[in-house]
A and B are shown apart, each in its own frame.
Chain A
Amino acid sequence: EVQLLESGGVLVQPGGSLRLSCAASGFTFSSYAMSWVRQAPGKGLEWVSTISTSGGSTYSADSVKGRFPISRDNSKNTLYLQMNSLRAEDTAVYYCARDALGYYYFDYWGQGTLVTVSS
Chain B
Amino acid sequence: EIVLTQSPGTLSLSPGERATLSCRASQSVSSSYLAWYQQKPGQAPRLLIYGASSRATGIPDRFSGSGSGTDFTLTISRLEPEDFAVYYCQQYSSSLTFGGGTKVEIK
Q: List chain A positions with a Cβ less than 8 A from chain B.
A: 35, 37, 44-47, 50, 59, 95, 100, 103-112
Q: List chain B positions with a Cβ less than 8 A from chain A.
A: 33, 35, 37, 39, 43-47, 50, 56, 88, 90, 92, 95-101
Residue of B whose beta carbon sits closest to that of A50: B96
Main secondary structure of the interface of A (DSSP, over half): strand
Residue of B whose beta carbon sits closest to that of A112: B44
Query: CB distance B100 to A103 under 8 Å?
Result: no
The contact sample of 27 A-B pairs, CB cut-off 8 A, is A44-B88, A44-B99, A44-B101, A45-B37, A45-B45, A45-B98, A46-B98, A47-B90, A47-B97, A47-B98, A50-B96, A95-B45, A103-B50, A105-B33, A105-B35, A105-B47, A105-B90, A106-B45, A106-B47, A106-B90, A107-B47, A107-B56, A108-B47, A109-B44, A109-B46, A110-B44, A111-B44
CA distance in complex: A109, B99 (Å): 18
Q: For the complex formed, measure the closest distance between the CB of A119 and the CB atoms of chain B, giving whole angstroms.
A: 27
Residue of A44, A95, A104, A107 near B100 (CB, 8 A) is A44
CA distance in complex: A100, B37 (Å): 14
CB-defined contacts of B43 to chain A, threshold 8 Å: 111
Q: For the complex formed, measure the closest distance between the CB of A93 and the CB atoms of chain B, giving whole angstroms.
A: 9
Query: CB distance A103 to B97 under 8 Å?
Result: no
CB-defined contacts of B101 to chain A, threshold 8 Å: 44-45
CB-defined contacts of B98 to chain A, threshold 8 Å: 44-47
Q: For the complex formed, measure the closest distance between the CB of A94 and the CB atoms of chain B, giving whole angstroms.
A: 11
Residue of B whose beta carbon sits closest to that of A100: B50
CB-defined contacts of A112 to chain B, threshold 8 Å: 44
Q: For the complex formed, measure the closest distance between the CB of B55 and the CB atoms of chain A, giving whole angstroms.
A: 12
Query: CB distance A103 to B33 under 8 Å?
Result: yes
CA distance in complex: A59, B88 (Å): 22
CA distance in complex: A105, B100 (Å): 16
